[in-house]
Every structure is written in structure tokens, then in C-alpha cells.
Structure 1
Amino acid sequence: MNPTSAADGHALPVAGGRATAGEVWRLSRGHRLRLTAVGLVGVAGTAVDLIPPVAVGYLVDRVRAGTADPGTVLTVTGVMALSAVLGAAGTAVTVAHATRIYHTVLAALREQLVSRAMRLPQHLVERAGTGDLISRSSDDVTAVADAAPAVIPALTVTAFTIAVSLAGLAALEWPYAAAFAVVLPVYALAMRWYLRTGPRVYRAERAAMSARAQQILESQRGYATVLGFGLAEHRHRAVLTASWDVAVHAIRARTVQSMLNARLNLGECLSLAAVLVVGFVLVDHRLSTVGGATTAMLLVLRLLGPVNQLLFVVDTLQSALASLSRMIGVVTIPVTETPGMPTPPEEPADAAERGTAVRLRGVAFHYDGGPPVLDDIDLDIPAGQHLAIVGPSGAGKTTLASVIAGVHLPDAGTVTRPRRTAVITQEVHVFAGTLRENLTLAAPGATDRDIRAALETTGADDLLDLSADALDTLIGTGGHPLTEAQAQQLALARLLLADPELAILDEATAEAGSAHAERLDRASEAVLAGRSGIVIAHRLSQAAPCDRIVVLDAGRVIETGTHDELLTAGGTYARLWAVWQAGQRLGAGR
């Protein structure tokens, strides 16, 4: 049986029970000695709590025998008070240390989840839906963290209390323990029913939450498209449907919870009745004393609370385990790539001698279930040269850039590229934080002087004037909003600071509009200066200055050469150039 499984053919995998337990055990490394100490303190603390029932039973027998006096009462009261203090201290120490270990392990798991999520192949995330990944790193993490107040006492103090109390009951009079044991099948049947029903219901609830997150995320990301095509009502219905689906599954989960509670109440009633009957018979036959029966009843009453709490918290535990399995399902996805992209193959010796920066041989690629997007691509890019990739919409330009960058792995063929490769796409993201933090993401060691030089080189030094805080100006969410042109300049300055061997600009200046096109083109040229570069050209004016141009159509290279050579050849590029120039003249005449 596979350690992980998927809910369907597209969702990210969910770890099985064995894989989840193995990962938790691995994460507990370094904490196991502390866990042992916590267990010992917990057992000692709950053992002390056995003293009050025994003391009450002792007092009852002394009263019936007529040998009790004020000193006896004071002694019993003092012993009970002292045991209560010691028991509470043991409980506090146990819960506090267990909680600290719990959250330490959860923090380590959360860090692994984020780290692995950043390394997942893009096609895997796209196929599953970004909402699924976001739900696992937010909703599921919250569910596991929020379970701590209920789960930790149940797995520590409550479990110890049950074990110690059962042992004390058996030591007092074995018939009392036998009477309680007779009722245990009621609890066992309740748990059997719940374990068959609960996990399935909670998995469905978490899956519904993921689907809702995906619908909300798509509506937010596609806001402009939703408005442009009048799809607001359609998207509203989609989100509403997903939200109602969550509500239905949540009601089912709460129904299961209520049915479990009813079964636990039945077990409690039967337990008390059984011990009372046994106590009556034993006292009647002088096999036990009234004090002994009183102690037994107090122990059973002391047991019922923890038993119900432990079984009832299984409801919370199942929900947390469902989320934990989804988190570990991501953590245990095999990923051999280094952060950001796959490790490129070693550059062949002959390529190094000729100074080849990028080499593609027989590269083919297709998206899941789709036709080939790239077909038998052979391409060499000499070190230090700039290559433009042009072609009609749908020709495979962005896919080719992604394969070269390592975002997608080719289905066939080989790709060789520099290890230090950076990509800027037309979807530029501004992170919430300071201007300095945004620029040093890929170059943590950059000084303020380096940052200012990069901003000046890319013509983005006006970003320093957004506020009096200069590099400490907050931008992004909650800060100064940036225009599309400013965001693209920021991305170009970030790339300049990263100083890659190969820079890939995938229509990186396409969204800023014609008003800023010339300025952004100059910034792009400054960024590419002195390094190998690939430009996916949205405007053919970006392609013309490049050392070589590749024309792509239907996933194949149909033309290659310099700007002048391709114009002279009178092929596809020449026609694209003529159409583009006509559009420029038309736009200028308006």
C-alpha cells in the first residue's frame, strides 16, 4: 500500500497512517527524552490524585466504626488538600511541557511544508489547484494548532488518569474493576462506529474547504477578467456553491460529534449502575466495606470524566489528524530539485570550450492530457549572447522559457543551462514589506549602496522618493501601491542584484503599457548587459536589438537568425514585423 494517496487524480497526495506516524516520529527526534520525562511526571501527578477517593473511603469506615474524631477529619482534609496541590502541579508541568514540545514539532513541520511547497514542480501545483496548497498551509496548519488545548491534556493527563485509576480500582477490589470492564465494550463499539465514520466525514470537510479556497482564489486573481466579461454573478454562484458544500460537510461532522456524545452518555450510565450493583452485593455479603464501595464509586466517577474526554477528544483528534495527513502528504512528495528549479545537468566539456550557455537537444513537452506544446527543439545560446523568442500566440514561447529555466521538466530531450539562472515573467509580484526587503530577496548580502546602484541602472531610483523612509518604505499589501511599470522595474532591479549567469525575461515588460515601454526596454537592456539572456518578446522592438532571434510556431523552431537576416528572408518574422510596424503607425496616428 502506498504511504500517500490522492483524493482524486489531480489533488495533492494525502499521507497514509503509517507515513504520518513515521514523519511525526522523525520530527520528535531530539525531544524524546523530554517526552519521557513528561510521561513520568504525568504518571506521578495522576497517582497522587488517587489519594482523595481512598481518604474519603477511609473516613467513611472510621465514622461507621465510631472511631473518627476531629483529628481524623483534619488529617484526612490535610492529606486531600496536599494531594490536590501536588496533583495540580504535576498536571500543570505535564501540560506545559507537552504543549511546548507539540508546538515545536508543529513549527518544524510547518517550515518543512513551506520549504517543500516552494520546491514542488509547477505542473503538479497547477494540476491540483493553488487553493489546495494554500488550504494545507493555512487551514490545515490552523486546525492542527487549534487542536492543542484539547488534544494535549487528553494524550497526557487524561490517558495517565485512566491507566492509574483502573490500576487503583483493581487494587481496591477486583470485582469493581470487573464491573467497570463489563461496560467497556459499549465504549469500544462507540469508538468502532466513530472511527469508521469520522475520518471519512472530516476528510470530505477538508477537501470541501480546499475547493472553496480554490474558487475564492481564482475569483480574486482573475478579478480583471471577471469584471471585463461580466462574470461577477457566475463567480459569486461558484463561491456560494463551494461555501454551501463546506457548510453541509460541517453539519455532517457536527452530527457525527453529537451521535458520539450520545453513545458516551450511555456508557457512563451503565458504568455507574454496574459498580453500584456490585458494591451493594459485596457490602451485603460482607466482602467489602461501605468505605470501600465509596472509594470505588469515587474512582469510577473520577474515571468517567477522563474516559469521556479521551473518547470525545478523538473527534478533535480525527479532524487534526486529517489535516496533519494532508500537511505530511505535501512534505513527503519526492522532490529531487534544488529550491527554485531542478538542478541542471553538467555542461558537456565541448559546450564549455565553445562557451555555450544554453543547449537544448530534442526537447519535447506537453501538459497533462494535452497535445505537444514543444516538439523536437534543438537550440544553442552562446555565453554572453541575447536570444529573442518570438512567434504567434500559442506558439509555445512561455513554455519554452519555462523548460529552459527548469520550471517544467521536458518529456524528452536534454536541457543544459547555467546553475545561476533567474526568470522574470509578466506577472510580477510585489511582496508585502520594505523596498529593501523586496530587492534583497535574491541577494541577501546586497548593501544599500548596491541597491541604490541597481535602482539607478534600471531607472527605478524614483522609488526612493515614495516616502521619506527611502529604502525602508513599506510597499505591497498595506504599504505604498506600485504601478505596473514600477513593479516591473522593481523586478528588474531585483534580478540585477541577484546577478545570474542567465537571465530570462518572459514578456517581463509587457503589462506596463506603451507609455512606459521605452523606459522599460532600456532597463531590460541594462539588466541583460554582460550576461547571457533570453527575451520572450511581446513587442518586436524588444527582439530587434538581440544577437539572434528564434521564431517559434506550433512548438517548433521555424526560423532563426539576426533581425536583418530574417527581414531579408521574407518569412514569418518579416510578416510579423510588417504587421507590428503597421500597428505602431496606426497607434501613432490616433
Structure 2
Amino acid sequence: MNVASAATGHALPVAGGRATAGEVWRLSRGHRLRLAAVGLAGILSTAVDLIPPVAIGYLVDRVQTGTGDLGTVLTVTGVMALSALLGAAGTAVTIAHATRVYHTVLAALRERLVSRAMLLPRHLVERAGTGDLISRSSDDVTAVADAAPAVIPALTVTACTIVVSLAGLAALEWPYAAAFAVVLPVYALAMRWYLRIGPRVYRAERAAMSARAQQILESQRGYATVLGFGLAEHRHRAVLTDSWGVAVQSIRARTVQSMLNARLNLGECLSLAAVLVVGFVLVDHGLSTVGGATTAMLLVLRLLGPVNQLLFVVDTLQSALASLSRMIGVVTIPTAEEADASMTQAGRADLADQADPAGRADQADQAAAPGPAGAAETATAVRLRGVAFHYADGPSVLDGIDLDIPAGRHIAIVGPSGAGKTTLASVIAGVHRPDGGTVTRPRRTAVISQEVHVFAGTLRENLTLAAPDATDGDIRAALETTGAADLLELSADALDTVVGTRGHPLTEAEAQQLALARLLLADPELAILDEATAEAGSAHAERLDRASEAVLAGRSGIVIAHRLSQAATCDRIVVMDAGRVIETGTHDELLTADGTYARLWAVWQAGQQISASR
């Protein structure tokens, strides 16, 4: 498992066999008729391939009896050549159509995986580690796609070959088929051994890949921290350790392959010996001809290849199935919206219980949803009761948090470094689930963190990520509102201007304006700004403060304030220290109280005066 999962036990789920089969069956809808045609083509092409062994046996009997001549040889040769061409054509058609269906279904699954990954409850991804999700959408997709060249022929032509060849042996002389059937338990035992060992080994290999991906991703994301604290050697050792973990698991998997191959070779040897002995006995007793025995041996030789291929490809198939189960495990996770709906329903029940001991549903709805003018004062957007949280086995970060945020109001959360402000915002947003207590929030909640991201693409694509139906007029209005209209002048392409990687670079202030405009277009019920304008510097502070106020207008808002000037403009201020709420009130009330906030304000003002004098 990945590092985060190992530490917390919160790995993303892996689908069971029934769930995997059910999802694949659902994805095959619309392709089942084509799959039936693929099966029919496979049977016909393999039936044609039975002609050469029969023709050779016929030629041997004619030569043995002295009735064969040049015409016989030419006829047999022509029939074999024609059957080879027809068989090859049929096999090609079968594999081509099977491959097309396979990759069409895989493409649909990949799209569902990416779509669902973008909607997953954030606390699941955070606790499992993003490396796990990245591994499932990259390594596992690649493993399933790369299995196609081996799996498709085995599950189409090879399976048909085994069925048709066994039928041919039985039609020739039933003892030949019986001789081969006697050896089948060897293959069955080999398969039983492999199915007991193989899946576990491949799951371990995929989990090791997830752990390696997590370490590499953390090193890349924390590049500045790694350099700043001289952690390069430590990170190198961590990546190297997990890379060796992948190597060890890969060697285990290859060892299992070799052991399976040895068992298949034993089955092949016993099969040939059994048919040879039966052929000798039948010919010796006049129950079969030399030509018949030759045909039987050729059919068995032709059959051994597909049998070994089918059993050996189970090795590849198990690896692909392990990856497929991990992919479908993500696809079947309830989305963040579904989880939010469940949480909102629970929150409404809590509101109803507190508003009316009888818990009447109509009053719960009135308390949980904004109403007309007078109801706005009593409607609650966010409610926290007894919320506690800690990271993994670390100390408590939040302890007994009780907080109500009225709908449409703006709350600032301030406090010294390490007070738990960002953790509280993450718990409210649903990025983390509390270890204790309850959280009720609106279904449509959006967060802008301090580390905003500019996606490689056009301005339009960046802004419509959260609002795909937004028109160009909507986009321009959002840019105007957030004071980011200058972005339209980066080039003559306006909204089609490419930004991010390989495009126009944006300053930190411009990137934050872009994020604010994106949030405005998303139009959430609750907006959380987690120091979202902290990195822009004092030169742009006033502009970004105005943009933040414009974005929060008309909706509930939570501001994790880096600059206390932001906190002063909010309706109410929550002061935190050591994971607890120690003060609440308006800016003026807290200054009058002369407590922690008043001291923070005095220090902040002194810092501003020093900066202004420089």
C-alpha cells in the first residue's frame, strides 16, 4: 500500500470480484452483439485450422498404403495453404474486433475513473495519499491496456482452439481425447496453485508502485521545502527505499511466472506421452491407422500451445485484473456530492432536533435553508458541534470546536501559527473528516487555498473548470468583478490566451485573481478563503482584498486571515489558539475586550507601520 495508507489505514478501496464483473458487464452494454460475433468468428477460424492436421494424417495413410502420388501431395498442399490463409484471416478479424471492443470499454472505464476522481470526497484522497490515486489512473490503466496483446488472443482464438481441437480429437478416436483429458488435472492443479499465489503477489506489486508514486509526488510538491531544509538526501533515501520495494515485489511476481511455466512444461510432456502411448496401442490392435495417430499427435501439439498460452496468460490476466479492481474501486466510491448530500441530510436532522424536540421535518427545512428576508437572521450555513481532529497518530489539532455561521455572513478565523486555523477550514470544507463531533455545511462548498494553481491551457479553460456552462460574457463579468480584466490583455487572443506551462506566465497576484474569478463562476453557497491572497505581497494586497470581498458578496464566507485588515471587514471574528476557539466577536468588540485578538492587532499594526516607513 502507499505510504499514507500504511500510516493511516485509509487506502482507497479495491473492488471485489463480483463488483468488478458487474461494472465490466455494465460497460459492455452496446458491445455485446459485437462480442458474440467475435466468438463466432473465433470458432470458425479455429475450425478451419483443424484442416492441416487432418490433411497430413490423410497423406500419411495414402503413402503407407501406396496409393499416394504427386496429385495427392499437391492436393493436400493446396488444401493446407488455403486453410492457413483462411484461418489467418479469420484470426486477424477476430483479434481486431476483440481489440476494438476491449479498448472501447477500457476508454469508457478510464473516462469514468478520471471523472469520478475529480468528484471524490477530498478527505478520502487526502488520507489515502494522492500517490495512490495517481498510480490507479496511470500505472493501473497502463497495466490493463498493455495486457491486451496477450489477453485478447488467449480469450478469443485460443479458447476457441481448445474447444474445437478437443472436439476434433473425440471425433477422430475417443481414446485420444480421453488420454489428453487424463492429463488435464495437472493443468488444473497448476492453475489452482497459481490462483492462490498470483493475485496476492500482484496486488502487493501494485501497492508498492503506489507507495513509490506517493514518495516521488511528495518530493516534487515539496521541492522548495526539500531544498530549504536540506532534505534532499532524506527524500532520496525514501524514494530509493520504495523503489527497491517495487523491485522486490516485481522479482516475486517474475518468480511466480517461472514456477507456473515449469508446471506447464510438465503438463505438456505428460500430454504428449499419453497420446503417443494410446496411439501405439490403438495402431497395434488395428483400431487406428498411422495417419490417425499422426493427426491425433498434431492436434495435441497444436492444442498444447493454446493451453499453455491460456494458462500462462492468466499470469498477465491476474496482473491486469488486480489493476482493474483498483480502478473500479475508485469508480464505485460515492462522489463528494453524494457524501455531502448524506452529510447535509444528517445536519438537517440535527437542526430539526434542536429547533423542535419533536423533530418535525418542515421546521428542519426552514432552519437549514435560507428563507425570505426575516428568516436570513436565523438560517445557519455551517454548524460545528464538539469537533475534534488529529493527524494520524499525532496530537489533537482541534479540540471541542463549537461554531455556528449564519447564512450570508462572513466569518474570519485568526490566531497564531499552529492554532489550527487551516485544519478547521479543511474540516469544514470536507477535506478532512472530524475524529469526533459533527459538521454541517452547504452542499456547494468551494475552497481557495494559499497555493493556487494555474492549469496549462487557455484563460477560458482555466475559468470554466468549475462552471463548464459559463458563457464568455459570464467569464468577462467575473474577471471585471475580481479586478482581473487585465488578463484579457495578455495577448490578442483574449480568453484564448494560453497560460500556465508553455503559456503566458502569471504573477502570484494574477494567479490568485484567476482563482477568485473561478470561484465566482462556480457560485458556491459557502466560500472558504484559506489565506488565498497571502502570497501576493503588500503591493497587491488592497486589490486582492477588494476582489475577495466581491467574491464573498451574497454568500456565506469563511476567511482564514493572513492580514488582519481582512478580518476587520468580516461580520464576525473567531480567534483560535492550540486547537480551541478562545474568542469570538466583531472587530470592535474584540479590541474593547483587550484579549488575544487585540494583541495580534497591535502587533500587526506595528508591522504595517514599519513596512510603510521603509
TM-score > 0.5 by shorter chain: yes
Task: Please say if residues 460 and 489 of structure 1, whose CA atoms lie closer than 8 Å, have aligned partners that are also in contact.
Answer: yes
1:392 correspondence with 2:416: yes
d(CA) in 2 for partners of 1:576, 1:221: 32
Aligned residues: 577
Task: Please say if residues 4 and 19 of structure 1, whose CA atoms lie closer than 8 Å, have aligned partners that are also in contact.
Answer: no
**Residue 407 (structure 1) aligned to one of 431, 434, 439:** 431
Call closer, same or farther: CA 1:349–1:170 in 2, change over 3 Å: farther
State the Cα deviation string for residues 196-219 of structure 1 (Å, max 9, x = none).
332222222111111110110010
Task: Please say if residues 2 and 207 of structure 2, whose CA atoms lie closer than 8 Å, have aligned partners that are also in contact.
Answer: no
Deviates more, 1:353-362 or 1:173-182: 353-362
d(CA) in 2 for partners of 1:497, 1:18: 41
RMSD: 3.2
Task: Please say if residues 506 and 537 of structure 1, whose CA atoms lie closer than 8 Å, have aligned partners that are also in contact.
Answer: yes
Call closer, same or farther: CA 1:188–1:582 in 2, change over 3 Å: same
Pairwise CA distance, 1:267: 2.6
Task: Please say if residues 408 and 557 of structure 2, whose CA atoms lie closer than 8 Å, have aligned partners that are also in contact.
Answer: yes
d(CA) in 1 for partners of 2:57, 2:471: 76
Task: Please say if residues 386 and 548 of structure 1, whose CA atoms lie closer than 8 Å, have aligned partners that are also in contact.
Answer: yes
Pairwise CA distance, 1:471: 1.8
Please give the secondary structure, in 2, of the residue aligned with 1:15.
coil
Pairwise CA distance, 1:469: 2.7
Pairwise CA distance, 1:138: 0.8
d(CA) in 2 for partners of 1:6, 1:536: 31
d(CA) in 2 for partners of 1:383, 1:7: 38
d(CA) in 2 for partners of 1:322, 1:356: 46
State the Cα deviation string for residues 309-339 of structure 1 (Å, max 9, x = none).
11111111111111112222223335xxxxx
d(CA) in 1 for partners of 2:275, 2:438: 76
Task: Please say if residues 2 and 208 of structure 2, whose CA atoms lie closer than 8 Å, have aligned partners that are also in contact.
Answer: no
State the Cα deviation string for residues 536-590 of structure 1 (Å, max 9, x = none).
1011111112222222233433322221221111111101101112222333444
Pairwise CA distance, 1:371: 5.1
Task: Please say if residues 422 and 500 of structure 1, whose CA atoms lie closer than 8 Å, have aligned partners that are also in contact.
Answer: yes
Task: Please say if residues 388 and 549 of structure 1, whose CA atoms lie closer than 8 Å, have aligned partners that are also in contact.
Answer: yes
Deviates more, 1:167-176 or 1:258-267: 258-267
Task: Please say if residues 572 and 584 of structure 2, whose CA atoms lie closer than 8 Å, have aligned partners that are also in contact.
Answer: yes
d(CA) in 1 for partners of 2:78, 2:65: 21
Pairwise CA distance, 1:277: 2.8
Deviates more, 1:498-507 or 1:461-470: 461-470
Deviates more, 1:465-474 or 1:288-297: 465-474
Pairwise CA distance, 1:131: 0.8
d(CA) in 2 for partners of 1:132, 1:357: 33
Call closer, same or farther: CA 1:369–1:121 in 2, change over 3 Å: farther
d(CA) in 2 for partners of 1:209, 1:70: 62
Pairwise CA distance, 1:418: 4.2
Pairwise CA distance, 1:234: 1.1
Call closer, same or farther: CA 1:363–1:201 in 2, change over 3 Å: closer
d(CA) in 2 for partners of 1:242, 1:178: 51
Task: Please say if residues 391 and 551 of structure 1, whose CA atoms lie closer than 8 Å, have aligned partners that are also in contact.
Answer: yes
Call closer, same or farther: CA 1:270–1:3 in 2, change over 3 Å: farther
Task: Please say if residues 3 and 129 of structure 2, whose CA atoms lie closer than 8 Å, have aligned partners that are also in contact.
Answer: no
d(CA) in 1 for partners of 2:444, 2:158: 55
Task: Please say if residues 458 and 489 of structure 1, whose CA atoms lie closer than 8 Å, have aligned partners that are also in contact.
Answer: yes
TM-score normalised over the length of structure 2: 0.86
d(CA) in 1 for partners of 2:444, 2:12: 29
Call closer, same or farther: CA 1:304–1:8 in 2, change over 3 Å: farther
d(CA) in 2 for partners of 1:15, 1:445: 34
State the Cα deviation string for residues 217-270 of structure 1 (Å, max 9, x = none).
010011011011011111111111211221222222222222322332333233
Call closer, same or farther: CA 1:6–1:227 in 2, change over 3 Å: closer
Pairwise CA distance, 1:350: 9.1
Task: Please say if residues 377 and 406 of structure 2, whose CA atoms lie closer than 8 Å, have aligned partners that are also in contact.
Answer: no
Call closer, same or farther: CA 1:499–1:194 in 2, change over 3 Å: closer
Please give the secondary structure, in 1, of the residue aligned with 2:469.
coil
Pairwise CA distance, 1:416: 4.7
Deviates more, 1:397-406 or 1:436-445: 397-406
Task: Please say if residues 5 and 129 of structure 2, whose CA atoms lie closer than 8 Å, have aligned partners that are also in contact.
Answer: no
Task: Please say if residues 6 and 12 of structure 1, whose CA atoms lie closer than 8 Å, have aligned partners that are also in contact.
Answer: no
Instruction: Give the percent of matched residue pairs that are identical in Structure 1 and Structure 2.
Output: 91
d(CA) in 2 for partners of 1:384, 1:570: 28
State the Cα deviation string for residues 365-388 of structure 1 (Å, max 9, x = none).
555555554445444444443221
Call closer, same or farther: CA 1:459–1:4 in 2, change over 3 Å: closer
d(CA) in 1 for partners of 2:2, 2:191: 26
d(CA) in 2 for partners of 1:245, 1:92: 40
**Residue 508 (structure 1) aligned to one of 532, 549, 555:** 532
Call closer, same or farther: CA 1:146–1:171 in 2, change over 3 Å: same
Structure 2: stretches of 5+ with no match in the other structure:
335-371
Pairwise CA distance, 1:410: 4.6
Structure 1: stretches of 5+ with no match in the other structure:
335-347
Task: Please say if residues 132 and 211 of structure 1, whose CA atoms lie closer than 8 Å, have aligned partners that are also in contact.
Answer: yes
Pairwise CA distance, 1:166: 1.1
TM-score normalised over the length of structure 1: 0.90
| Structure 1 residues 114-513: aligned runs within 5 Å | 114-334=114-334, 354=378, 356-361=380-385, 363-367=387-391, 369=393, 372-410=396-434, 415-513=439-537
Task: Please say if residues 2 and 210 of structure 2, whose CA atoms lie closer than 8 Å, have aligned partners that are also in contact.
Answer: no
Call closer, same or farther: CA 1:93–1:196 in 2, change over 3 Å: same
Call closer, same or farther: CA 1:288–1:93 in 2, change over 3 Å: same
Call closer, same or farther: CA 1:321–1:5 in 2, change over 3 Å: farther
Task: Please say if residues 396 and 554 of structure 1, whose CA atoms lie closer than 8 Å, have aligned partners that are also in contact.
Answer: yes
Task: Please say if residues 8 and 392 of structure 2, whose CA atoms lie closer than 8 Å, have aligned partners that are also in contact.
Answer: no
d(CA) in 2 for partners of 1:54, 1:169: 10
